[in-house]
Amino acid sequence: MRKNFTSAILVAALVFTASLASAGTIVTQWQYVNDAYFDNWTDQVGRDKDSGSTIVASPDFRTLTWGAPGPRTLNNQPSSLVINAPVSGADLLTSYDMVVGNIVDVVSITHSNNFITNTTYNLATGRVLASVGFTPDMPAGPAQPIEYSYLEFLFFETPNSDGQGNIIDMDDIFILTASSMTSGWFYYDEYRYDFQFTSTGLGLIEGEYDTYLDTLFGSDGVYYGWLTEEGNATTAQFKLSISATPAPVPEPGTMMLLGMGLLALGGVARMHKKN
């Protein structure tokens, strides 16, 4: 008769991990500030603001003025481009889940398009530096970092006669060449917020104006921009909206050592009996 004893000691460390995924509080309403000014511009011979451009800027760089009044000029005024800024408010509502937010009017740009002569150099290009800042309003919170972007354009003071004394009054043309101010996003309290700028007045340039530009550039292009009527003020209105999606910023996994157990399973004895 023989006895075999087997004993075992098991040590178990019980480690619990928990991700502290507390759902953030959604911001349903925002304060916002949208600002913009002319960062630079050139006249028809390429002179910019630092090299003697004939374009006149206001001290706040939100108005550019150019052109010599001619016989048909209304009120003897030159042409101008005015940025209506800054625009702020506290009424921007977030879209999320099935909740539909709103769209608020922000910065606008007005072209007072006059019949001017070509005896001076006119505006040829412009660059706008725009910014937008958000501050949580409901519930209140700290201001978020301001986002900056550029908008660049070409401008064409188009002919207003056919060269034989007949009035044709072509609209003048702005073409956007670069714009990063259409959208952006940021994280706040475990939500991702996407904001978007749209506008009225800007769109694809088609028909005779597309043909005019193709002829000017000597190639068939597609242009996105703005047409403005002679003898009138035309405003492009920018609009802002914001939406939210739950998007927790990844946090370091939180390890919680809840307990370490020493389980001694001792004295497990088995007795074998051999025949």
| Site residues for Ca ion per CB under 5 A | 113, 158, 160, 170, 172, 210, 214, 220, 230
CB of 46 to Ca ion, least distance (A): 20
Q: With respect to Ca ion, which residue has the nearer C-beta, 39 or 214? A: 214
Query: Dihedral (C-alpha) 207, 209, 212, 217: value to the nearest 10 degrees?
Result: -110
CB of 79 to Ca ion, least distance (A): 6
Is the peptide bond prior to 139 cis by the omega test (within 30 degrees of 0)? yes
CB of 48 to Ca ion, least distance (A): 21
- Kind plus residue range of the DSSP H or E element containing 207: helix 207-217
- Kind plus residue range of the DSSP H or E element containing 216: helix 207-217
CB of 224 to Ca ion, least distance (A): 12
Cα 185 from Cα 132, distance rounded (Å): 11
Cα 251 from Cα 121, distance rounded (Å): 58
Cα 203 from Cα 237, distance rounded (Å): 12
Residue showing the smallest CB distance to Ca ion in the complex: 158
CB of 95 to Ca ion, least distance (A): 36
- Kind plus residue range of the DSSP H or E element containing 213: helix 207-217
- How many Cβ atoms from other residues are within 10 Å of residue 139's Cβ? 11
Cα 154 from Cα 177, distance rounded (Å): 7
CB of 44 to Ca ion, least distance (A): 13
Q: With respect to Ca ion, which residue has the nearer C-beta, 128 or 170? A: 170
Q: Are 92 and 32 in contact (CB under 8 A)?
A: yes
Strand partners, 63: 82
